[in-house]
């Protein structure tokens, strides 16, 4: 894991990086429905598990690894309430979070 990026799920665009301490206002993106993408190195790993506020939310098996899910580059929005949230992404050697886990990455941000 090397980091996170915001995703505009309406326009199907990967946006800029998301860092701990950031404040995300959907109005800054035209009120778009948003999601997050986990950037991995190497780019292709077996899967990425997303944990949000200490709850397992999703396992993604294909690049790009997004929290809301996707079909190729058709991104689905991620439903999240306003407030402070922590997202942890754990890369795995194989699909469905199997095999040896890699180095996890975490980001804490506020959603308005």
Given a contact cutoff of 8 angstroms between Cβ atoms, the answer to whether 64 and 37 are in contact is: yes
- What is the DSSP annotation of 19-84? -TT-EE-GGGGTT--EEEEEE-SSS--SEEEEEETTEEEEEE-SSSEESS-EETTEEPP----SEE
Any idea what DSSP says for residue 12?
T
Question: Which pLDDT score, from 0 to 100, does residue 68 have?
Answer: 94
pTM of the full structure: 0.92
Alpha-carbon Rg of the chain, whole angstroms? 13
CA–CA distance, 100 with 7 (Å, rounded to integer)? 28
User: What stretch of H or E contains 103?
Assistant: none
- Residue range 38-94, pLDDT digits in tens: 999 887 899 999 999 999 999 999 999 999 999 888 999 998 889 999 999 999 999
């Amino acid at each position: 894991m090397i980091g996170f990026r915001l995703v505009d799920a309406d326009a199907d665009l990967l946006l800029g990086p998301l860092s701990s301490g950031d404040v995300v206002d959907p109005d800054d993106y035209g009120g778009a429905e948003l999601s997050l993408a986990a950037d991995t190195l190497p780019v292709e790993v077996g899967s990425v598990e997303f944990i949000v506020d200490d709850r397992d939310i999703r396992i993604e098996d294909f690049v790009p690894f997004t929290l809301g899910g996707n079909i190729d580059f058709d991104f689905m929005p991620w439903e999240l309430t306003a407030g402070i949230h922590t997202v942890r992404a754990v890369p795995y050697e194989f699909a469905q979070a199997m095999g040896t886990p890699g180095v996890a990455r975490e980001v804490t941000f506020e959603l308005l």
